[in-house]
Amino acid sequence: MSGTIVDETGRALWYVDAGQAELRDERLGDLKPGTVRVRARHGAISRGTESLVASGRVPPSEFQRMRAPFMAGTFPFPVKYGYATVGVIEQGQAALRGRTVFTLHPHQTLFDLPEPAAVPVPDNVPASRAVLAANMETALNAAWDAGPGPFARVAVVGAGVVGALTGFLLQQLSAASVTLVDIDPGREKVASAFDLAFATPAQAPTECALVVHASASSAGLATALGLAADEATILELSWYGDAEVPVPLGGAFHSRRLRLVASQVGMVAPSHRRDWTHRRRLEKALGLLADDRLDVLLEAPLAFEDLPARLPGIFDPASGILCQRIDYA
């Protein structure tokens, strides 16, 4: 039996206006059959998507598609948003209690969700690193969208969390020579940790069979197009919210027969859709986190209670922050 709990209260982060967030109490009430109650231990801020949400830059056309699995509220504000929480099941079926799980739940200290939405973290993956699961799932889907290759030379423009993880996987899955390309020389430490090459845009290798773009900037997209070989694929991972982004499709774009392809994690890549469910893909992503080198992506933890005051600095493009980890008391 799942048991019944009355009047427990969680505390959640809500984006309430452009650049403003606050913590709100959330009464949970009775635990419903088929659900589990999870106490959060660690979380992470998805800087790219959440910065757009926090600034009210989700376009009306995407209000429904951009809803996170357990989001509350309505775009643009107020919304309870986020999708990277690791916690421990406190209540539910006896066999599930005490298990450490990853959930696609917003930032909240205590919450209920359906049993299938609580995905066990493998024993060989530290709970603090498991917050990268959603990003790893995006990178895995991107690797599938890129295709099997062979890719002798790959460039990933934008060495943020998703870009770096995509390069990490592409090197393993396709045995390609992968270069992370970024305007920030400090990102070389990530490339080095992953045994990847690093270059600034001016130094980046050209004639690449595959170019992944993950910088979320028009300048980065122009760089990506310029690095591609004849008939190469440019895989676009960036999401720009309501921004209008110029795409330089003049020059050699047509004569070189380039392919600009969107990749997005909301659907399983067509190449794997017949055999893979969202749950199986997420389980695979969690398993891929069993590599100590991935800790280079995690910033020093921030206390959950400090989030509202610290979010502007986290979202500042000049912050240099990769994955901001959250620790819950």
pLDDT digits (tens, 9 = 90+) for 219-259: 999 999 999 999 999 999 999 998 889 999 998 899 999 99
Query: What is the C-alpha to C-alpha distance for residues 122 and 294, in angstroms, rounded to an integer?
Result: 15
Q: Which two tokens stand for residue 323?
A: 């994955």
> Which CATH number goes with the domain that contains 86?
3.90.180.10
Tell whether 41 and 108 lie within a shared domain: yes
Question: Does 112 fall in a domain?
Answer: yes
pLDDT at 6: 52
Residue 175: the pLDDT is 78
Same structural domain, 314 and 211: no
Question: 155 and 68 in one domain?
Answer: no
Helix/strand/coil for 153: strand
- 148 with 119, same domain: the answer is no
> What is the C-alpha end-to-end distance of the chain, expressed in Å?
28
- CB neighbours of 153 closer than 8 A, spacing ≥ 6? 176, 177, 179, 205, 207, 208, 209, 229
Is there a domain that residue 318 lies in? yes
Same domain as 148, residue 120? no
Number of domains in the chain: 2
Same domain, 155 and 253: yes
For residue 158, being part of any structural domain is answered with yes
Judge whether 81 lies within some domain: yes
What would the pLDDT profile of 92-151 be if each residue is shown by its tens digit? 999 999 999 999 999 999 999 999 999 999 999 999 999 999 999 999 999 999 988 788
Q: Please give the residue range of the domain that contains residue 162.
A: 135-262
Instruction: Count the helices and strands in the chain (H runs, E runs).
Output: 7, 17
306 and 197 within one domain: no
Question: Do residues 183 and 249 both lie within one domain?
Answer: yes
